[in-house]
Structure 1
Amino acid sequence: MSSHAGHGHHDAPASATPVHAHVPAHGHAHGTGDDPATDIDWDVLGPLLEQEAELGAAQYEEAARWIAALPTAPDVRRVLDVGSGPGVVSCLLAEAFPEAEVVAVDATPALLRRAADRARRLGLGDRFRTLTAELPEDFAALGEADLIWAGNSLHHLGDQRAALAEFAALLRPGGTVALVEGGLPARRLPRDIGIGAPGLEARMGAASATRFEHMRSELPGAKREIEDWSALFGAVGLTPQGTRSFLLDLPAPLSRPAREHVIASIAREREVLGDLLNAEDSAVLERLLDPEDPEGLHHRPDVHLLSARTVHLGRRVP
């Protein structure tokens, strides 16, 4: 699976488009054909994933500090970043836990090469490695860990409860699973942008949710699960340790890198959502993405970036 949401990598329905996380074994992101969600050019998408994670770095750093400061925090010697993508969060975890070996786990070699290159640039090479793995088949290859970070990756596995039980089995006594699921999808435009019907992003979100449910239904062994993560932790023998959300709030006017990311991510969403959008919204998106249009994303003063990622912790009691 390869989660693609910026996690990170790293949003549930919003990450129905592979612009969010990166996980091993999700079937829907490694195929070929005419579906833009499955026929992926990683040389194009990889930099977008990196940029998204870099923009949200403060969220992940704050989350890591929260985990490290818990009274029950384990002595972290080995970290698994499951669905690591290009390794931005993996490297942040290596910096947050300086005594730990960090393993970036993904099914996409092109993304893992980016992760390894980033780790080398940051001087983390001696305690950073990558692992190509397809889940759920390769759970046994991951090895034990004190911290398992799963950034928008669990929902790429059909049987989420079974996968969470596999995570629990990999934890050393006192170890923690940090599950990044839910949160709030990104908002980048006002409700009324002056062209087309108001509420464009809300309709895009609804289309993305439809696509997400279709993706989930096609996963091998797909099972519907109430997304009460604390209850699921308990069901697999883990003790819930709390839930927190971390905000990314970049108001207008955006920096050039943030604006470029917004443009690239909306372009990707338009491509992936395709016929799920009505003709009027598709035409508005064409205008928004036109660099010559004065009402477009390249020129609008009201473009912003607001989102939240939610982290749920479960602990294996010694």
Structure 2
Amino acid sequence: MPPVIRRQEVVAICLVGLLIICIITGLYLAKAFFLPITMAFIVGTMLSPAASFLERFRIPRALAAVLIVITATAGATFMVGLIGSPAVEWSSKLPELGSMLKEKLHVFDRPLALWQQLQSTIGGPDNLGSLHLPKIDWVQPALEFLSPTFAEFLLFIATLIMFIASWRDLRRALIMNFGEREWRLRTLRILNEIEGHLGNYLLIVTMINVGVGIITGLICAITGMPNPAGLGALAAILNFIPIIGPVAMFAVLVVVGIVSFPTLGGALLAPAMFTVMTFMEGHFLTPMIVGRRLALNALAVFLALAFWTWLWGPMGAFLSSPLLIVALIVKEHLMPDDAPQLPEG
């Protein structure tokens, strides 16, 4: 009898593994459909409290959904507009900027020569004799990777409006789908907690990122960096992506600083101040504001970020933390941690 049970458990594990692989494969291959739908569901859940607030002023929920989406789209368009003009200007000067950057990085020729000599002494490869900048033929593929198609954007906007407008009916249908009262109450608690947590997450993260953008703009203005408003807007947008966003912004500030300033010290002043600011924000300000209920394990955040970025790119990186919050809430309600705690020490 025990071997039969063991064999059944192995078969069950294999079937679950195959199901997970099939789901991940489907999400990857059908990204053009599932990404905008998932994005609309997550963002719609975040914005649903705003629609409920507008309903208190006797504004129909469908009209409230349209107003909320228009307002959010206008804000995003404004932020992109601050970045777009200087980005187009810099992209038109990429060959010139590349040669200028290469010329200014000659300060690293001597350390690279010493490194090459050390490698030759110990018998390693000696292919770092000079600093070579990558070619710029990556720009077009990068833009295609970062920019959603018009069909995906249209699907996202349409789904977002209809989701916010019909969220109450969807909630009621999900709850009444269960026959037992206990499961109905559990589903209601899960949905309420997801809506509350995601709404708070969007509000808090947006306020923090706007503050990061303003401070970054001030840092760039004080240090004499070009287009501080655009760099501040870029910092605010990139900070929505955990870990990757601040690192990418640091790299942007380094490149802009090296191109714009005659000395390496002046070029690294703004990136250094930005690093101090993001360290204070990430280790002190955000944990203090977010609090224990929205705090996430650093390893879980990193693994979720890596997985969803691999699966869906930058938009997947943006969705990684909200999806992790949803998964943890569902896990807490469906699999409560009632096991006895291990003694400390």
Question: TM-score, normalised on structure 1?
Answer: 0.26
Q: Which has the larger radius of gyration?
A: 2
Question: TM-score, normalised on structure 2?
Answer: 0.25
Q: Which has the larger share of strand?
A: 1
